[in-house]
Amino acid sequence: MRRDAHSKRYELLIFDWDGTLADSIGRIVVAMNAAAERAGEAPSDEAAVKGIIGLALAEAISTLYPHLGPLQVEAFRQHYADIYMALDQQPSPLFEGVVESLEAFRAEGYRLAVATGKARRGLDRVLKANGWEQFFDITRAADETRGKPHPLMLEEILGHCGVEPHQALMVGDSAFDLQMASSAGMHSVAVGYGAMPLQALAEFGPQLCIDHFSQLREWLAASV
């Protein structure tokens, strides 16, 4: 049965992609360090790479390798894009419980959106692979707006959906997701199975910390 939208605490659920919906963190780490090798740079440790996931790619590279100039960053970015595309011929699988939960959210009347550090080309590719080209009300990628943690991405989603910040919830696995939500005046949920551990995310004041995606559905059902 479709629930009355006015009975819900939130109207709009916004999701990060990598590390929140899709189990892609391992591939990102491998691709980043393979790109570093091609660019003649030393590899970064896994924790450092995980710490930049969520940023727009050029900003992520500049954070890991601050000595690189703009042309070097662009060359590195292209190496990464080529390597990641080769690794991701079969897109990373969605985490357990994601498909069932998102379908249930839609059936219950929630608006759904994606706010990701991926580029539009990459996001469209994985949406198509999952048959989700028309699934979300709106999706925003890092190369078509301001990157995380700037709130513009969320503000654009709110404006498109006609929803106020207090009616929306951001779900993500990185500090950048939670900082972005806070700057936009939104509540957030931290997931601990992606880029950053829950103990690192808890300091950003999420409404909920989860270690399995289905826990979000249980919490929302109890919040009505």
121 with 206, same domain: the answer is: yes
Q: Which one of 72, 87, 102 terminates a domain?
A: 87
Residue 90's pLDDT is what?
Answer: 86
Nearest to 210 by CA among 134, 123, 98: 98
* Residue 5 confidence (pLDDT) above 90: no
Q: Which residue has the tokens 């662009």?
A: 74
Residue 1's pLDDT is what?
Answer: 27
80 with 145, same domain: the answer is: no
Nearest to 213 by CA among 52, 104, 138: 104
* Percent of the chain scoring above 70 in pLDDT: 96
72 with 128, same domain: the answer is: no
Q: Which comes out higher in pLDDT, residue 17 or 223? A: 17
Residue 224's pLDDT is what?
Answer: 66
Strands of the chain (E only): list them.
12-15, 111-115, 138-140, 168-172, 187-191, 208-210
Determine phi and psi for 205, rounding to 5 degrees.
Answer: 75, 40
Q: Which one of 61, 87, 113 terminates a domain?
A: 87
Helix-helix angle 57-64:70-87, to 10 degrees: 110
Residue 223's pLDDT is what?
Answer: 78
100 with 135, same domain: the answer is: yes
Residue range(s) defining the domain that contains residue 200: 5-24+94-222
11 with 54, same domain: the answer is: no
Q: How many whole angstroms separate alpha carbon 189 and alpha carbon 216? A: 8
* Residue 31 confidence (pLDDT) above 60: yes
* Residue 4 confidence (pLDDT) above 60: no
Q: Give the HSE-up count for residue 135: Cα atoms under 13 Å, Cβ half-sphere.
A: 20
Alpha helices in 88-187 (DSSP H): 98-107, 120-129, 152-161, 175-183
Confidence of residue 3 (pLDDT cuts 50, 70, 90): very low
CATH number at residue 175: 3.40.50.1000
Q: Which one of 87, 108, 138 terminates a domain?
A: 87
17 with 33, same domain: the answer is: no
* Residue 155 confidence (pLDDT) above 70: yes
* Residue 170 confidence (pLDDT) above 60: yes
CATH number at residue 35: 1.10.150
Average confidence (pLDDT) over 28-37: 96
pLDDT per position as a tens digit, 54-103: 998 999 999 999 999 999 999 999 999 999 989 988 889 999 999 999 99
185 with 105, same domain: the answer is: yes
Q: How many whole angstroms separate alpha carbon 32 and alpha carbon 84? A: 8
122 with 171, same domain: the answer is: yes
pLDDT per position as a tens digit, 102-120: 999 999 999 999 999 999 9
> What pTM does this model have?
0.92
41 with 138, same domain: the answer is: no
State the greatest distance between any 2 C-alpha atoms of the chain, in Å, as a whole number.
Answer: 57
77 with 126, same domain: the answer is: no
Give the count of domains, the chain: 2
166 with 70, same domain: the answer is: no
